[in-house]
């Protein structure tokens, strides 16, 4: 099960956070700081999975942006690792060339996309067309 | 930082323009919508925590005024919500806005409404009182005629919904299960899953409907229902054994490529769905031979199929191995799985190695001999820079014990210890492992030597471990009691309150030690002292978190956690404490190792209680620990597991999964009784469903067509083309980790070569400059004369300068690929010492044809260089590069480089065989792939399809029987691949078989491209 989904940049600034179990606001920032610290301390010869407290962190770096997913013991690390990439591909498709700025200026849309893909910590959709369909309709309707 | 800001600032004007034009003509609104832009700009420019605080406080004050102002429009409110989300994301309370989020969801219009719902899901938690105010809005939206609104309502229900209000929406959601749109049905199933999670008894009556969802004609709806089933089967697998056949059928269809192509991820069919199904099968087949037998075939196929070299197939393989080792064992499968893991373990890719080691723990539990072959790798991994890898490895070692005597293992470990190349951290791990093994060893020479050597070690950590071992070793009887081999630990009691330490704590306090402060309190104090802290370099607090967690080498040592942690927190008097602690706790009732490691955990929890930061509730922590304790107890029947769990907490948790199942079956025996009635009434429907599902499996065709139709509808006006191209661009593994922006531009740059991979260069005339074109054509025709019997590609210019132009083309000879490079001397003077060389390539064997080196190329003439290329190792795309150099006027020499793309298709040749031979070969091949492909209109007739396949892919048509066709080809030098196809309507059912595992997948991909009929 996915416990949280984070996008944090190298400076330690959170660009997106989504928790699938309730965590109090002040504890979130602490957790995020520690999580990004542990990701930054990794070298390229270390694997993309880290033990952290009760969970495993699975991370992937895109430019200066880290996407970190916290999962519990039942998850398949590699499946999550690829899921992150799938998510980025969806973003890339929607924003056609996604950058950190796209994510910042469209925080709501990124959340809407993520909500299509993960619910209650479960991966519920990975089909790119189906993930984007609801959002594209919303865009279309608010345009007209 | 600075480059980011720079990028931001340059990009901002454009972005503002965009948002302004989108927000309509009203100037006031436009300026308002840039408030978000202002916030974003402010955030990117932040340099310290202090600045952030100032910025956000100001922002929050503004927002507070705006949201409560009467003239704030819904559009502005939407903007405010996004800004509030930002503030909360950065850790600042924005609770004043919660009620407005609910209002926005209630009153807003589509996107505004969606953002309102989004804000609610981010702000509120399950038991928040405001959530009740949302119920009416949800009920209204569920009844809306606008599907978008229904979707939103279903999404929010599946994210967050007050348990007590479920009855208010349940009938509405049940209705949606019959909706004509897949997305509504799918989201309804997910909403029911949520209800099942928070109030399972409320959805008990709709279990039949779950089965209906499982048999839904849409893949998405079926996949959604699997979440419910995984959960239910985890809790009580025996009630769902009858569904095994259905799950197997579904997995077979997915693995066999029966799903619409857009469910593929990097040409792997629905990988996450496969993983989900494998998990379910693992739970169903556990300790159940009859059920397991049903799934052997499909597991075998999954192992065989997933050979594509992509991360996601490794994820599937890993899950598959896990399933194979969870269910009732079948030796043939176990061996195949073990072999598969071997590839992982030996992989240079560190992520795969990790996965392999993790999987190895499953293997060793079944049969240590299968893992022995990887011993060397395991030992090498012991000094891996990554602690997570080391942890897995030391766990392996204790399992290997089954076959080797403890002495042998200790000797090995000792050898490692004395090696200089090993870091002291690893050494500490090793001594801990030796300590575990010592009580079982008969001779203790090595152990004594080790103690002697390391009690004088300069490394405090090593010395401490060695002293522990020494003290324990002095009292062998005591040690054996402490580390029992075959004792069951069922009557273990854990003193969670750590009362045995009270005396010690009191003593220390009386001597002036500082009283204990919980972690968060310390953290707060630290923060209040220096507010800028979290943006400072990370050295300090990192080391403490790194070492207090499970990764710590101290964590695995015997009772050394106390000292380990105190070293971290800076206490000194630890050496004397350590053994006392052990005695006090373990002296009474015969020493159980779990107890000891338990104590370790609890002691750790003392200085660092934030272990479970995500669970703010202490009760939860305790129940969780209790559970895991119960599980560990029942698991510790085997000595190997016992050892492992005391060696490694993490490893123990891995095996806990298996145990979960066991413990569950026990507790559910009781529950099942009370459910008997319900199960009976359910059985009739089950039977119906079973017939239905078996029907759909026997007539795959209709089933698949349904998938297709649905999928086509759903796609709507989506640009399918764009998708496929884009995925193509992102496909390449080497590009995946590149920076986002750079990645795409890279792809753009290399677009021509990507097209080349699509073989456009092979089958279509390339774009060349008009001047040289005429020349080339004449060139090609002259060459054709000697090679007319072979197919060849068009001439393509690979490089040129003012003097020469080099073109190349491919001749697909029967036994090899002949590459011809034509060098045309454009200049009026002759070129001397012209020499063309091809760089050796990994996958090819390149042979120079006679007459290749030419002393002179006369003016305005052409010379050819020929190379025959053989493929040595199957690959999909390769690159052949080389250079040409020559001298002009005896003076300077010029060198030009070029490269040419080769694809596997270049090595495919027709295979001329008879129908009988086809039949024989067909049965002898193990690797196969099936897929339905839609034909474009122009190809809808059988003859044109055949022609396309024959021409584009060089397949030999063996026979045509009615609407079925047999084709054959071979991959040079001699790897046959057979294709059987059947036409019905505008669909083409393709079935490839080959002895080579990669060939069917590859050819299928090529066929699909041909069928798409560019």
Chain A residues whose CB is inside 8 A of the B194 CB are 119-120
Look at A129-133, B274-278, B598-602, B957-961 and tell me which has the smallest mean pLDDT.
Answer: B598-602
Q: Backbone dihedral region of B44: left (phi > 0), alpha (psi from -120 to 50 degrees) or beta?
A: alpha
The reply to whether residue A29 touches residue B90, judged by beta carbons under 8 angstroms, is yes
- Given the structure tokens 């710590």, which residue do they identify? B552
The reply to whether residue B538 touches residue A37, judged by beta carbons under 8 angstroms, is yes
Structural contact between residues B644 and B395, judged by C-beta atoms closer than 8 angstroms:
yes
Length of chain B: 1014
With 0-12 / 13-18 / 19 or more C-beta atoms within 10 angstroms meaning exposed / middle / buried, residue B765 is middle
Predicted local confidence at residue B380, as pLDDT: 62
Predicted local confidence at residue B222, as pLDDT: 94
Which residue from B550, B614, B740 is facing A63, i.e. has the nearest CB?
B740
Mean pLDDT of B964-978: 83
Instruction: Answer whether residue B247 shows pLDDT above 80.
Output: yes
Tens-digit pLDDT profile for residues B873-898: 767 777 788 888 877 766 677 888 88
Tens-digit pLDDT profile for residues B590-630: 444 443 333 334 434 344 444 444 444 444 444 444 444 44
Which residue from A60, A74, A124 is facing B657, i.e. has the nearest CB?
A74
The reply to whether residue A45 touches residue B549, judged by beta carbons under 8 angstroms, is no
More confident residue, B95 or B930: B95
Phi then psi for B407, rounded to 5 degrees?
-60, -45
Instruction: Answer whether residue B669 shows pLDDT above 70.
Output: no
Predicted local confidence at residue B123, as pLDDT: 92
Is residue A1 within 8 angstroms of chain B, CB to CB? no
Mean pLDDT of B158-163: 92
Task: Reduce the DSSP state of residue B520 to 3 states and report it.
Answer: helix
Q: Please give the span between the terminal C-alpha atoms of chain A, in angstroms, as a whole number.
A: 39
Confidence of residue B966 (pLDDT cuts 50, 70, 90): confident
Residue whose C-alpha is closest to residue B925's, from B965, B960, B968, B884: B968
Mean pLDDT of B577-601: 40
Instruction: Answer whether residue B841 shows pLDDT above 70.
Output: yes
Tens-digit pLDDT profile for residues A63-120: 889 999 999 988 999 999 999 999 999 999 999 888 888 898 899 999 999 999 999 9
Instruction: Answer whether residue B513 shows pLDDT above 60.
Output: yes
The reply to whether residue A82 touches residue B118, judged by beta carbons under 8 angstroms, is no
Predicted local confidence at residue B200, as pLDDT: 87
Instruction: Answer whether residue B180 shows pLDDT above 70.
Output: yes
Interface test with A, best of B125, B614, B618, B625 (most A CBs within 10 A): B614
Residue whose C-alpha is closest to residue B106's, from B98, B117, B93: B117
Average predicted confidence (pLDDT) for chain B: 68
More confident residue, B461 or B938: B461
Quick one: closest CA in A to B259, which residue? A127
Is residue B166 within 8 angstroms of chain A, CB to CB? no
Structural contact between residues A27 and A8, judged by C-beta atoms closer than 8 angstroms:
no
More confident residue, B152 or B610: B152
The reply to whether residue A115 touches residue B650, judged by beta carbons under 8 angstroms, is no
Tens-digit pLDDT profile for residues B204-220: 888 888 888 999 889 99
* CA distance linking residue B964 with residue B983, whole number of Å: 6
Is residue A72 within 8 angstroms of chain B, CB to CB? no
Interface test with B, best of A3, A8, A47 (most B CBs within 10 A): A47
Predicted local confidence at residue B49, as pLDDT: 81
CA distance to partner chain A, nearest, from residue B551 (Å)? 7
Mean pLDDT of B773-783: 35
The tokens describing B216, both together, are 């839904």
3-state secondary structure A77-128: HHHHHHHHHHHHHHHHHHHCCCCHHHHHHCHHHHHHHHHHHEECCEECCCCH
Look at A98-107, B190-199, B545-554, B814-823 and tell me which has the smallest mean pLDDT.
Answer: B545-554
Is residue B987 within 8 angstroms of chain A, CB to CB? no
Q: List beta partners, residue B268.
A: B265
Top-ranked range on mean pLDDT: pick from B191-195, B580-584, B929-933 = B191-195
* CA distance linking residue B1009 with residue B1014, whole number of Å: 8
Tens-digit pLDDT profile for residues B360-409: 877 777 666 666 666 666 666 655 656 666 655 655 555 554 455 667 67
Mean pLDDT of A7-25: 90
Mean pLDDT of B289-316: 86
CB atoms within 10 A of CB B894: 14
Top-ranked range on mean pLDDT: pick from B132-141, B568-577, B959-968 = B132-141
Look at A22-31, B346-355, B750-759 and tell me which has the smallest mean pLDDT.
Answer: B750-759
Mean pLDDT of B557-572: 36
Which residue from B111, B122, B654 is facing A138, i.e. has the nearest CB?
B111
Look at B405-414, B630-639, B968-977 and tell me which has the smallest mean pLDDT.
Answer: B630-639
Predicted local confidence at residue B751, as pLDDT: 31
The reply to whether residue A128 touches residue B40, judged by beta carbons under 8 angstroms, is no
Is residue B38 within 8 angstroms of chain A, CB to CB? no
* CA distance linking residue B691 with residue B705, whole number of Å: 19
Chain A residues whose CB is inside 8 A of the B81 CB are 108
Q: CB under 8 Å to B147, separation ≥6 — which residues? A: B181, B183, B184
Residue B327 DSSP one-character state:
B
Instruction: Answer whether residue B462 shows pLDDT above 90.
Output: no
Confidence of residue B420 (pLDDT cuts 50, 70, 90): low
Look at B619-633, B724-738, B889-903 and tell me which has the smallest mean pLDDT.
Answer: B724-738
Phi then psi for B819, rounded to 5 degrees?
-100, 130
Which residue from B159, B197, B723 is facing A129, i.e. has the nearest CB?
B723
Predicted local confidence at residue B884, as pLDDT: 82
Predicted local confidence at residue B7, as pLDDT: 40
* CA distance linking residue B358 with residue B345, whole number of Å: 9
Q: Backbone dihedral region of B759: left (phi > 0), alpha (psi from -120 to 50 degrees) or beta?
A: left
More confident residue, B33 or B915: B915
Look at A57-61, B90-94, B192-196, B430-434 and tell me which has the smallest mean pLDDT.
Answer: B430-434
Predicted local confidence at residue B858, as pLDDT: 73
More confident residue, A56 or B11: A56
CA distance to partner chain A, nearest, from residue B996 (Å)? 26
CA distance to partner chain B, nearest, from residue A67 (Å)? 12
Is residue A93 within 8 angstroms of chain B, CB to CB? yes
Mean pLDDT of B792-811: 80
Which residue from B122, B538, B739 is facing A62, i.e. has the nearest CB?
B739
Chain B residues whose CB is inside 8 A of the A125 CB are 186, 220
């Amino acid at each position: 099960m996915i416990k949280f989904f984070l996008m944090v940049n190298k400076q330690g600034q959170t660009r997106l956070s989504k928790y699938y179990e309730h965590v109090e606001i002040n504890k979130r920032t602490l957790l995020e700081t520690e999580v990004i610290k542990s990701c930054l301390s990794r070298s390229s010869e270390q694997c993309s999975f880290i033990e952290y407290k009760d969970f495993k962190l699975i991370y992937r770096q895109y430019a200066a942006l880290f996407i970190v997913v916290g999962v519990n013991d039942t998850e398949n690390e590699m499946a999550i690792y690829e899921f992150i990439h799938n998510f980025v591909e969806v973003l890339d498709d929607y924003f056609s060339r996604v950058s950190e700025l796209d994510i910042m200026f469209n925080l709501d849309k990124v959340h809407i996309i993520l909500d299509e893909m993960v619910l209650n910590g479960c991966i519920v959709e990975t089909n790119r067309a189906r993930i984007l369909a609801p959002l594209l309709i919303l865009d279309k309707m608010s345009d007209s | 930082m600075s480059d980011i800001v720079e990028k931001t600032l340059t990009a901002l004007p454009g972005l503002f323009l965009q948002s302004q034009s989108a927000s309509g003509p009203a100037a006031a609104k436009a300026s308002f919508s840039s408030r978000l832009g202002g916030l974003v700009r402010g955030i990117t420019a932040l340099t310290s925590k202090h600045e952030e605080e100032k910025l956000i406080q100001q922002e929050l004050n503004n927002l507070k005024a705006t949201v409560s102002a009467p003239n704030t429009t819904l559009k502005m409110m939407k903007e405010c919500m996004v800004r509030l989300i930002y503030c909360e994301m950065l850790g600042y309370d924005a609770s004043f806005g919660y009620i407005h989020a609910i209002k926005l969801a209630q009153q807003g219009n589509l996107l505004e409404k969606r953002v309102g719902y989004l804000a609610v899901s981010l702000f509120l938690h399950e038991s928040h009182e405001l959530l009740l105010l949302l119920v009416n809005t949800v009920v209204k939206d569920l009844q809306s005629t606008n599907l978008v609104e229904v979707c939103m309502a279903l999404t929010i229900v599946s994210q967050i919904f007050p348990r007590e209000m479920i009855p208010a929406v349940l009938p509405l959601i049940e209705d949606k299960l019959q909706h004509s749109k897949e997305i509504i049905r799918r989201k309804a199933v997910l909403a029911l899953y949520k209800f099942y999670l928070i109030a399972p008894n409320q959805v008990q009556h709709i279990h039949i409907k779950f089965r209906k969802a499982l048999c839904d004609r849409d893949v998405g709806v079926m996949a959604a229902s699997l979440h419910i089933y995984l959960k239910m089967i985890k809790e009580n697998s025996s009630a769902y054994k009858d569904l095994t056949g259905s799950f197997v059928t579904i997995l077979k269809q997915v693995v066999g490529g029966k799903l619409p192509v857009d469910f593929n991820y990097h040409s792997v069919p629905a990988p996450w769905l496969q993983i989900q199904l494998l998990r379910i099968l693992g739970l169903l087949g556990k300790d159940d031979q009859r059920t397991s037998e049903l799934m052997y075939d499909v597991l075998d196929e999954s192992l065989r199929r997933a050979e594509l070299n992509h991360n996601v197939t490794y994820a599937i393989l890993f899950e598959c191995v896990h399933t194979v080792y969870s269910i009732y064992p079948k030796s043939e499968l176990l061996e195949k799985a073990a072999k598969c893991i071997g590839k992982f373990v030996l992989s240079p890719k560190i992520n795969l190695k990790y996965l392999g080691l993790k999987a190895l723990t499953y293997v060793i539990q079944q049969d240590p001999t299968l893992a022995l072959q990887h011993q060397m790798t395991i030992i090498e991994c012991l000094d891996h820079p990554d602690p997570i890898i080391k942890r897995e490895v030391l766990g392996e070692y204790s399992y290997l014990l089954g076959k080797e005597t403890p002495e042998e293992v200790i000797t090995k470990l000792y050898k490692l210890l004395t090696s200089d190349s090993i870091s002291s951290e690893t050494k500490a791990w090793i001594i801990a492992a030796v300590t575990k093994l010592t009580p079982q060893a008969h001779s203790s020479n090595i152990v004594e030597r080790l103690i002697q050597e390391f009690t004088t070690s300069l490394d405090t950590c090593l010395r401490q471990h060695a002293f522990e071992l020494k003290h324990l070793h002095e009292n062998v009887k005591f040690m054996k009691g402490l580390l029992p081999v075959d004792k069951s630990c069922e009557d273990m009691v854990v003193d969670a309150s750590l009362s045995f330490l009270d005396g010690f704590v009191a003593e220390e306090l009386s001597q002036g030690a500082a009283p204990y402060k919980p972690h968060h309190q310390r953290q707060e104090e630290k923060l209040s002292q220096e507010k800028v802290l979290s943006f400072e370099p990370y050295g300090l607090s990192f080391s403490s978190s790194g070492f207090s967690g499970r990764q710590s080498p101290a964590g695995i040592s015997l009772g050394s956690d106390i000292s380990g942690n105190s070293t971290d927190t800076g206490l000194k008097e630890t050496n004397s404490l350590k053994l006392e602690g052990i005695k006090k706790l373990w002296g009474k009732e015969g020493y159980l190792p779990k107890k000891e490691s338990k104590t370790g955990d609890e002691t750790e929890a003392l200085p660092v209680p934030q272990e479970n930061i995500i669970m703010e509730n202490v009760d939860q922590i305790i129940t969780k620990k209790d559970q895991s304790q119960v599980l560990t107890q029942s698991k510790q029947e085997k000595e190997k597991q016992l050892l492992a769990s005391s060696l490694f907490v993490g490893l123990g948790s891995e095996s806990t999964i298996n145990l979960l199942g066991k413990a569950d079956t026990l507790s559910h025996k009781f529950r099942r009784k009370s459910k008997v009635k319900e199960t009976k009434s359910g059985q009739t429907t089950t039977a119906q469903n079973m017939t239905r599902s078996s029907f759909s499996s026997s007539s795959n065709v209709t089933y698949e067509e349904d998938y297709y139709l649905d999928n086509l509808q759903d796609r709507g006006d989506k640009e399918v083309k764009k998708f496929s191209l884009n995925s193509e661009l992102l496909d390449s593994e080497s590009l995946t980790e590149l920076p986002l922006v750079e990645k795409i531009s890279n792809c753009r740059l290399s677009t021509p070569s990507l097209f080349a991979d699509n073989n456009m260069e092979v089958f279509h005339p390339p774009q060349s400059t008009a001047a040289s074109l005429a020349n080339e054509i004449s060139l090609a025709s002259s060459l054709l004369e000697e090679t007319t019997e072979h197919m060849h590609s068009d001439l393509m210019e690979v490089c040129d300068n003012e003097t020469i132009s080099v073109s190349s083309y491919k001749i697909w000879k029967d036994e090899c690929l002949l590459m011809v490079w034509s060098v045309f001397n454009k200049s009026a003077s002759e070129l001397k010492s012209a020499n063309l060389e091809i760089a050796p390539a990994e996958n090819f064997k390149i042979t120079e044809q006679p007459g290749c080196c030419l002393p002179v190329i006369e003016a305005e003439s052409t010379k050819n260089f020929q190379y025959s290329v053989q493929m040595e190792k199957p690959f999909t795309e390769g690159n052949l590069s080389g250079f040409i150099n020559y001298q002009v006027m005896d003076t300077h020499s010029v060198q030009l480089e070029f490269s040419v793309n080769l694809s596997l298709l270049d090595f495919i040749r027709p295979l001329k065989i008879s129908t009988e031979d086809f039949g024989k070969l067909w049965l002898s091949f193990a690797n196969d792939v099936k897929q339905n492909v839609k034909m474009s209109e122009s190809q809808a007739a059988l003859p044109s399809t055949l022609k396309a396949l024959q021409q584009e892919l060089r397949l030999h048509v063996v026979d045509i029987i009615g609407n079925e066709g047999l084709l054959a080809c071979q991959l040079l030098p001699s790897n046959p691949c057979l294709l059987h196809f059947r036409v019905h309507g505008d669909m083409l059912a393709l079935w490839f078989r080959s002895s080579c595992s990669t060939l069917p997948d590859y050819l299928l991909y090529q066929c699909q491209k041909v069928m798409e009929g560019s």
